[in-house]
Amino acid sequence: MATPNDSSRSLVGLVIVSHSRALARAAVALASEMLHDRPVRMALAAGLDELTLGTDALRVKEAIEEVDSPEGVVVLMDLGSAVLSAELALDLLGDPAVRERVVLSAAPLVEGLVVAAVAAAGGASRAEVAAEAHGALMGKAAHLSAPQDIPRGADEKADRVAVFAVANVHGLHARPAARLVSEMRGLDAHVELRNLTTGAGPVPASSLSRVATLAALQGHRVEIAASGPQAGEAIDHLLALAARHFDEPPDTPPALPVTQNAGPLPASPGIAIGPSRRLSFADQAVERAPASDPVAEWRRVVEAMADVRREIERIRAVAARQAGPQEARIFDAHLLLLGDSEVLADVKQRIRSGASATTAWLDSLAVVEKQWSELPDPYLRARAEDVRAVGAQMLAALTGAPSAMMTGPGILIAKELTPAQAADLDRDTVRGIVLAYGSPSSHAAILARSRGIPALVAAGPGVLSLVEGTTVIIDGSTGELIVDPPEAILTRFAHRAAEIAEQEARQRAAATAPAVTLDGTPIEVAANVGSPDDANTAAAAGADSAGLVRTEFLFLNRDQAPDIEEQVAEYVAIADALCGQRITLRTLDVGGDKPLTYLHMPVEENPFLGHRGIRLCLDRQDLLLDQLQAICQVARKAPTSVMFPMVSTVAELRAARGLLTEAAGPEGTPEGLHVGMMVEVPAAALKIATFLPYLDFISIGTNDLTQYTLAAERGNAAVAALSDPLDPGVLRLIDHVCQAAADRIPVAVCGEAAADPIAIPVLVGLGVRELSVSPRSVPSVKARVRALDLALCTSLACAALVLDDATSVRQLVTSSERRRTRASTLD
């Protein structure tokens, strides 16, 4: 938000950095009232979104660039981390000339902004504007202060002192300490803590890395010493926090024991046997490259911090949905460690002394980790893991190395995996995966299936207490989890694994043949791909086409969008890998939980119901037009389809088709370019007839359609069992689409249900004639189709539509299969 118009470019610009967007807007409105239509450019960098308090260095940088001119910029900040964000923003500015023109003002935000705006409107220089803002409180101070009132320096005696006893079971470990630090950072006071029981301290309450070194255990007495304008508020607030255990439950429930069939959900088929393993953080002994210019090295640190902060915030949101707010609070500690002023000051000093960004970060974190690992209490000592976690993420951002690796070959046991972690796993090392949280349709589960790694999810927190090296058996098809099995069970599962391997070999041998049901109905089995390598795998697996090309693989994890030429080259490489088979390119599907670093995308409370897919692309038509131009060029060389995601209204589809016509240019839309849409929103399924005049095909995304229909977020472990595409409510929507499209355009399914052996006969019976699955699933899906009879599938589908729930549907299909098996045996 910059205001007002371009006529103000010759004046000093103002940037308002505040934790609250509402507060910043109100301050700008107040200042604007004093200007009497004289133009001053003011930009906000306030709040993480409309409701979430916080500051973002990247947004501060963008705001500075919005209002910059040869006269320079004055930045006003409210408190705490706003100052740190503004300092980091200066380091992010690429142009040194711009950096030299920026003044960070220590003035109070509201009074300072009013005075600064008036001074800027009058043509004052940036130094004069900053000086006027800094003196904004002089009038008020002169009026209210007694002659003996003298400001107290930070090194003088504290204004107030108080003592509290630590009541938390595990003392001031990462979560309660993070709560304390975050609350103190929001106050205009200098606060120090001392452990009176042990004598440790004093340490600044604004530094998580230092507060942890107090080693304050349950029952220890901690002294608070505060000075400054809000010293009283700081004391009262901290005492109230301590009285309520820093908002941590007073008792932590014990971990659940791990038992056979304790409740995991199957997520990726296959049997795996091996020792339990963990993720270890990146090796601290990375190559210590020589340092370049200190300014460039510090900039590397700041940019890496911005990347890691976004990733931690994303993971925190996922953890809050899956495991609850208490479990997610550990990521608050990670965020505070990442921006710890003491740590950053140390890193910056090391870089000034000649160290590289990587070396400075490693050496600084090593000091903090050593302090934590030497704490006397074993629970607090174990919190050094949090330092390693943040350190590993920063190393990954600085060096491009994986942030975590397996401790050895075997079965990976983890809370959850990010998509990046799942994609980085070594298939030769990871024999199987067991996640405490997550769901079968989470991104981690999808990646496990695409890579052929057996996996279980939602196994519960008890699995996290497994001793490293304990023998584990998992069956990713049935959900079985067996810990420390006897020899007889080991032998039985080893035989089952061998039988599955033989069956898969037979299926691969027949994979290139068409998939035709027993009565002669052809079913196209396509592949979902996300790169040319995936396309090569799909071709080798016998895929009939690429039913879904996830084009966002080109747009994510980079600093700017790919140009048209790069897109054409990648799409043609996918087409070439499939040797003339049709490829279906889904336009960019990002937003919400899949952000682009080069787009300013606000944090959304519910990203799955937010600004994503076609909605985002229609607002950023430059991105969509470039992509559609690339798709048109590819369509003139190879059989190509284009598919629009997350369509919910006909107006969106019409707008997208209009842009396609514009992108095609004077040559016109390429002959043979098919246009389709994803059906992922229940409203789109119900009114599908209104979309049909604009479509050549439909592809149903059962992952999103299921979560929207059942109000069960697909990555949430608490509702993972509910989020089943075989729920009759979801099946009725698919049936409605198939009935409306019958004899007009083909219907495909590209969600995970397309590879589910129990779902396949139901989908075929409803009228689906294309199943698009992961490349590794193509042979087994073709084999499944060849064993089906269309009349029986139709009967099953009709019966499934009137059942109570997904469990009943699965039982129906399973019972039917058993009856057929018995009948064929008798024959």
Give every CB contact of residue 606 below 8 A, 6+ residues apart in sequence: none
d(CA 44, CA 66): 10
CB atoms within 10 A of CB 93: 19
CA-CA distance, 84 to 100, in Å (whole number)? 18
Length of the chain: 827
Determine contact, residues 172/232, Cβ cutoff 8 Å: no
- H/E segment holding residue 396: helix 384-399
Which residue's entry shows tokens 């004055």?
A: 74
H/E element, 238 = helix 231-243
Nearby residues of 377 by Cβ (< 8 Å), 6 or more positions away: 170, 171, 215, 217
Report the DSSP pairing between strands 265-268 and 455-457. antiparallel
Q: Report the alpha-carbon distance of residue 53 to residue 48 in Å, rounded.
A: 6
β-strands 160-165, 221-227: how paired?
A: antiparallel
- Given a contact cutoff of 8 angstroms between Cβ atoms, the answer to whether 316 and 329 are in contact is no
| Helix, strand, coil % over all residues of the chain, rounded to 5 | 50, 15, 35
Distance CA(470)–CA(276), nearest Å, equals 5
**For residue 287, which phi and psi values (nearest 5 degrees)?**
-65, 125
Cβ-contact 13, 68 below 8 angstroms: yes
Q: What is the DSSP string of 643-704?
A: EE-S--SHHHHHHHHHHHHHHHGGG-SPTT-EEEEEE-SHHHHHTGGGTGGG-SEEEE-HHH
DSSP 752-812: GGGG-TTHHHHHHHHT--EEEE-GGGHHHHHHHHHT--HHHHHHHHHHHTTSSSHHHHHHH
- Tell me the torsion sign for CA atoms 217, 222, 227, 230: positive
**Tokens at 567, concatenated:** 């897109």
DSSP bridge pairs for 45: 17
> Bridge partners of 413?
434
Exactly one of 220, 443, 632, 736 is catalytic; which is it? 443
750 is catalytic: yes
Type of residue found at 532? P
Sign of the CA dihedral running 737, 746, 591, 62: negative
CA atoms lying within 13 Å on the CB side of residue 240: 8
Instruction: Tell me, yes or no, if 443 is annotated catalytic.
Output: yes
DSSP type of residue 430? E
Reply yes or no: is the peptide bond before residue 202 cis, omega within 30 of 0: yes
Burial status of residue 753 (CB atoms within 10 A of its CB: 0-12, 13-18, 19 or more) = buried
What is the sign, positive or negative, of the torsion defined by CA atoms of 600, 604, 608, 610?
Answer: negative
- Cβ atoms 750, 701 nearer than 8 A: yes
> What distance in Å separates the CA atoms of residue 617 and residue 625, rounded to the nearest whole number?
9
Strand pairing class (271-277; 471-475) = antiparallel
User: Residues with catalytic annotation?
Assistant: 443, 750
